[in-house]
Every structure is written in structure tokens, then in C-alpha cells.
Amino acid sequence: MLKKKEKYTVAVVGATGAVGNEMISILSERKFPIEQLRLFASERSAGKTLEYNGKEIKVELLKEDVFKGIDIALFSAGAERSKHFAPISAESGCVVVDNSSAWRMDPEIPLVVPEVNPDDINKHKGIIANPNCSTIQMVVVLKPIHDEAVVKRVVVSTYQAVSGTGKDAMDELTEQTGNLLSFKEIKCNVYPYQIAFNCLPHIDVFLENGYTKEEMKMVNETKKIMGDDSIKVTATAVRLPVYRGHSESLNIETVYKLTANDARAIMSEAEGIVVFDAPEKNVYPLPFDCASKDEVYVGRVREDDTVENGLNMWIVSDNLRKGAALNAVQIAEKLISI
């Protein structure tokens, strides 16, 4: 267990990536009690410097012997590196909050969204998993509805930003857009098809059941986080030419009836949700407006009259913040408060 201190030695692993950079910014913004911040990355990025609270910190090479004396490590270095380094870090006495997919479905490792299942943090044995970005924003919305009316089934379609793939994907969108507008050749390196002015119903690899790995993450992670295997989830995940911010269309079926006004009232009182819903005034969440915001924004709330107890809604959140870095920092905040 983590030893109580006034200030902690914190590491960010994968510090030079988009999520790692966001973690550093959020640690500063939220004034996390840090005695020393250490930054780690691969050979390609080690030696660079990054700013934290007005100071330049040199990025160290990630090695097996670097974790001694570190209290909390926020990992954003990919599943393979996490599989190797997270257990080593935990064995050294450090608590790992891992943003990769490596540990999410391990029954021994808690998968946590602080607004939904904060008590699961207490079950950790040195590693805590951060869920998939698209799952996080969805369960934040599902939790208060489930508590009130019991969610039976969810049909979700996602519209996900290229930043979810990483910096190379963002650069590819920029390059393709410029080339299209200049009538130049389009090159596809990150995605199998052009992403500029297009949408791809293909996120991660396809599985034998016809779903993608991203879609099945939403199915399986939702049940684990909500602590209810009876919730049925089916998903279609789509990549859009948007830089930042994931959008989702949710169709939710509940055991007990909720009107649209009931749902708005319940979500308005819930932690981490902003109800932004006045379509008659063209008020609804947009990825552009939700960028760099911490909350999950909800709009277009309406009753589904094709089922007895159904709701439709549109939700948007910043995938680099709540979908990744912020959720990890919130887990660390809960961890030091236990």
C-alpha cells in the first residue's frame, strides 16, 4: 500500500507522448502534491526536456532499475512496455496507474473511473488500470442512470478523434488535409484509408466475431467498471477527421422508466457531467467546444419511443483529458486520499 506523505515522488512513463504531456499539465493544474517529478521515455525521446511548473525537467531513459524511491507512476507508454515495466515498478513499492490496455481485464487488477467505482482502488496490489477512452466517458453517464433506473442494454456508436491514435495520426490528418486542398498526392501511413474529409468504421483490429477490439473493449470494460455482468452493450466505433474530442451516440434501455427530464435532472446532479441540452437553441455538445474541458458533456436527451423504457443522448468528452490523462490523475488523487 502507498505510504501517506505530504508530498510524493511521481513518475510519468511515456512522458513525451500526447497523453504523457497531458498528464504533466494536469498534475500542475490540479496542484498534485509532488516532491519530485521524474519523466521517462524510450531511447528515441530520452534526453529531451519538458516543462513542469516553469522548470525544465530532463526526460530519462526508461530502464528496469529506475523505480526505486518513486511513490506513484503514471504509465502512458503502450501495452507491451507496460506488461514489462509495470510489475517491476510495483515490486519496487511504487503504485502504477496504467493507461494502456495491458491490465484492464485482469481480474486481479482494478479498472477504475473515480466517478463510478472509486472503492475499487482499495483492491489494488500495486497496479491500477485506466480504462479505454471511449469507455470512460460512457460509464460516467451510465452510472447515475443505472443507480436510479437500472441499465439493461446500451447501443453505442462512437465518433472518435485521431488523437486517440497518437501524434502520428494527428500529423497525418494535417498533411492529408493540406495536400487535398493543394491537389497533391494523398499518403496513408497510419490508417488504411484517407482520414481527411472521411470517416473510418475501423478502430483497432477486427476480431473473429466481426467487431473491432475497440468495440469489445467497450463491451467488456463497461461490465467490469459498473460491477454488473448483466448489462448488455453493443458498439460500433468510428474514426473521424477531428483532432480532439470523442463523441458518442447512446441508446440506453432501463428496467424502470425515466423521462428525458428525469434523466437530465439526474445527470445534472452527478459528478463529472455537464448537461448541455437545448436543441431548440442549437445548444448541444461539440468536440470543438469540449476540448481541454474535464467533464463529460451530455445533450440531445430524448425518449426512445420504440421501447418501453428507452433514452437517446449524445455525449462528448476530451479523450486526452477525461479519456486518459485526467482519469489517471484522478485515480492518483483518490489513492493518496485513502
For the domain made up of 135-319, the CATH class stated in words is alpha beta
Digit-coded pLDDT (tens) for 57-95: 999 999 999 999 999 999 998 999 999 999 999 999 999
Find the DSSP H helices in 182-325.
Answer: 213-226, 260-268, 287-290
Query: In what helix (H) or strand (E) does residue 134 lie, and over which residues does it extend?
Result: helix 133-149
Inform me whether the pLDDT recorded for 13 exceeds 80: yes
The CA R_g of the chain, rounded to the nearest whole Å, is: 20
Establish whether 133 is a catalytic residue.
Answer: yes
Digit-coded pLDDT (tens) for 17-49: 999 999 999 999 999 999 999 999 999 999 999
Q: 246 has which bridge partners?
A: 317
Running DSSP on this structure, what letter comes out for residue 124?
-
Inform me whether the pLDDT recorded for 11 exceeds 90: yes
* Mean pLDDT across the chain: 97
Pairing of strands 310-317, 246-254: antiparallel
* Nearest residue to 52 (alpha-carbon basis) of 20, 5, 94: 20
The confidence score (pLDDT) of residue 25 equals 97
The confidence score (pLDDT) of residue 316 equals 98
Task: Decide: 97 and 75 in contact? Cβ < 8 Å.
Answer: yes
Q: Where are the beta strands (DSSP E) in the chain?
A: 8-13, 34-41, 49-52, 55-61, 72-75, 95-98, 127-129, 151-160, 232-239, 246-254, 273-275, 296-303, 310-317
Inform me whether the pLDDT recorded for 110 exceeds 80: yes
Digit-coded pLDDT (tens) for 252-308: 999 999 999 999 999 999 999 999 999 999 999 999 999 999 999 999 999 999 999
Find the DSSP H helices in 3-132.
Answer: 18-29, 79-91
Cell numbers 517529478: residue = 37
CATH architecture for residues 8-130+324-337: 3-Layer(aba) Sandwich (3.40)
The confidence score (pLDDT) of residue 222 equals 98
- Chain-centroid distance of CA 270 in Å reads 19
The one catalytic residue among 94, 146, 246, 290: 246
The confidence score (pLDDT) of residue 102 equals 97
Q: What is the pTM of this model?
A: 0.96
Cell numbers 440506453: residue = 252
Sketch the domain layout of the chain as residue ranges: 8-130+324-337, 135-319
Q: What share of the chain is helix, strand, coil (3-state, %, to 5)?
A: 35, 25, 40
Inform me whether the pLDDT recorded for 3 exceeds 90: no
Digit-coded pLDDT (tens) for 154-178: 999 999 999 999 999 999 999 999 9
The confidence score (pLDDT) of residue 310 equals 98
